[in-house]
Amino acid sequence: MTASSAAVPGARPDYVVREATPDDLDAIAEFEVEIARVSFGDEAITDAGLHHRRVAGALGKPGEITLVAVERQAPGRPVGWAWLSGRTNSLTGARYGNFRSLAVADVDGRSDIGEMLLAAVLQAADGAGMRQLTGKVHARNLGMRALYRKFGFEATHVTMEKRVPGPGAGGQGDGGEGRRADP
């Protein structure tokens, strides 16, 4: 699956979107570490090997949409990454897509590349029959929130958190030991 760069108004013709391959895993793991840092700050899981293994299980798996953006002149070096997982509602049986990741390196045209990736994910999700897509984004990730809005996503739920100090924490939280993965 390759998305035409002309599919997105203002897209850069020097970049294309293609399916992710095992050869892309090192770059994808770096994107996942950055997503974790943006989303979880000091509690981020930054073990690239863990992210590498987690993503490797999704590549080529039915129901998983895993795409990378690359320069036309350097198709083996991803500058962006997007991941959508197909899911089934356990109560209704309806198929939907759960947006897992979208990240773009700090390169010229970063916003355009992000738009190309999201447009390609939406096209692939439509082709897979997914009529509803969901995605979480950290409240402070204004760039991703704006991208979601630009493509018609609307806020429907808010996740609320409160940290409760554990035993021996002296009221200071868990001392950084309580690292978490995806919520």
- Domains of the chain, each with CATH number or no CATH: 2-150 (3.40.630.30)
Name the β-bridge partners of 121: none
Q: Where is 68: in which H helix or E strand?
A: strand 64-71
Q: What SS3 state is found at 22? A: helix
In terms of pLDDT, which residue wins out, 67 or 161?
A: 67
For residues 105 and 34, give the distance between their C-alpha atoms in angstroms, rounded to a whole number: 10
Q: What ranges in 16-151 are assigned the alpha helix state H?
A: 25-40, 48-56, 110-127, 142-150
Residue 80 · residue 104 · CB < 8 Å: yes
pTM of the model: 0.80
Q: Which two tokens stand for residue 104?
A: 């773009």
- The pLDDT of residue 178 is 41
pLDDT tens digit sequence for 134-146: 888 888 888 888 8
Looking at residue 7, its pLDDT comes to 52
Could you give the C-alpha distances from 145 to 89, 101, 136, in angstroms and in order? 24, 13, 9
